[in-house]
Amino acid sequence: MSGVWVFTENKDGELLTVSKEALAAARRVADGLGQPLTALVFGQDVSAVAAAAFDLGADAVLGADDATLAPFRLEAVGPLATRLVQEREPAVLIAGGSTRGRDLAAWVAADLDAGLVADAIDLAVDGDTVKVTRPVYAGKLMADVFVTGGVQVLTTRSRAFAAAESAGNSGTAEWVAPAVTEEEIPTTVVGFEGKEGKVSLTDASIIVSGGRGVGGPEGFAPVQELADVLGGALGASRAAVDAGWIPYEHQVGQTGKTVSPDLYIASGISGAIQHQAGMRTSKLIVAVNKDPDAPIFKLAHYGIVGDLFQVLPALTAEFKKRL
């Protein structure tokens, strides 16, 4: 088995950020192993995506360009990825930690009875094996995990790796046929409903979150205002979501989204272990809470003891002046 493969995702002819991060992580692994990096590019009209994968450091591109592969359906992409891995036997398959990347990794690993390590925040090479560092026990510990034997299937945590940058590479992709026909795919995608203008939580470099301390749906207004002035996304604790103050898509934590922004501002959030599980790998954590003993202050790099309804508007006004 030889070679490092990275599964990439694309939308509107462009590689997604999560795939650029996976490409950078996979490049590091390929260099460590001294093996070539191959990017998998699946979709329709994806020649520009293949060119972008070369530009971002792939040595080779293995692609499939077919209407059955766009939009993404696991029942079409999964069998294709499995077939290619079976035929060509790469040593490592890496996917970004999006829903699709995680689905695909699980599909291939289950099909091939291979070991899978999810949620890598660091990857290093140890002999012929990749050492995967991933958080365990809700992020309280970091574990180094290895897949021994067979293809090593890995997923990366979103925003744990810097996105690959243009390396100026180019090349000629190899195009293969899909593994299944439209008739064999049991699902049909009827459309997408986009949320225009909203910053996605998992992609956001800045997140401002509110918890039970905001006191009601209207209490999210100052949280949203601070997020807007910083160009960030709006997060929430489960208590606020369960109370019906904000939709589930904003929930951060063990049963919500896992995020790693450059800046995470937690306001009116106590810092329960299940909330920490989703945000403790944030690079800079600021907590605003009126209780000086709130557990969030143990995790925060900066803490402001005070009423969020005074502190957040003051921060918003100050950032407005300075930005």
Question: 3-state secondary structure string, the chain?
Answer: CCCEEEEECEECCEECHHHHHHHHHHHHHHHHHCCCEEEEEEECCCHHHHHHHHHCCCCEEEEEECHHHCCCCHHHHHHHHHHHHHHHCCCEEEEECCHHHHHHHHHHHHHHCCCEEEEECEEEEECCEEEEEEEECCCCEEEEECCCCCCEEEEECCCCCCCCCCCCCCCCCEECCCCCCHHHCCCCCCCCCCCCCCCCCCCCCEEEEECHHHCCHHHHHHHHHHHHHHCCEEEECHHHHHCCCCCHHHEECCCCECCCCCEEEEECCCCCHHHHHHHCCCCEEEEEECCCCCCHHHHCCEEEECCHHHHHHHHHHHHHHHC
Nearer to ligand FAD, 47 or 224 (CB): 224
Q: Minimum CB separation from ligand FAD for residue 209, in Å?
A: 9
Do 176 and 63 form a contact (C-beta atoms < 8 A)? Answer: yes
What residue ranges bind ligand FAD (CB under 6 A)?
211-213, 237-240, 251, 253-256, 268-270, 272, 274-275, 278, 288-291, 294, 307-309
| Calpha distance 298→124 (Å, rounded) | 30
| Calpha distance 268→70 (Å, rounded) | 42
Q: Minimum CB separation from ligand FAD for residue 212, in Å?
A: 3
Q: Minimum CB separation from ligand FAD for residue 248, in Å?
A: 10
Q: Minimum CB separation from ligand FAD for residue 230, in Å?
A: 19
Nearer to ligand FAD, 100 or 212 (CB): 212
Quick one: tokens of 269?
């959030």
Nearer to ligand FAD, 172 or 255 (CB): 255
Single out the residue of 164, 223, 313 nearest to residue 237, CA to CA: 223
Nearer to ligand FAD, 87 or 293 (CB): 293
Q: Minimum CB separation from ligand FAD for residue 21, in Å?
A: 23
Q: Minimum CB separation from ligand FAD for residue 229, in Å?
A: 19
Nearer to ligand FAD, 90 or 222 (CB): 222
Nearer to ligand FAD, 83 or 290 (CB): 290
Nearer to ligand FAD, 47 or 274 (CB): 274
Nearer to ligand FAD, 179 or 239 (CB): 239
Q: Minimum CB separation from ligand FAD for residue 279, in Å?
A: 9
- Phi-psi category of residue 157: left, alpha or beta, with phi > 0 → left and psi -120 to 50 → alpha: beta
Q: Minimum CB separation from ligand FAD for residue 293, in Å?
A: 9
Nearer to ligand FAD, 227 or 288 (CB): 288
Q: Minimum CB separation from ligand FAD for residue 82, in Å?
A: 32
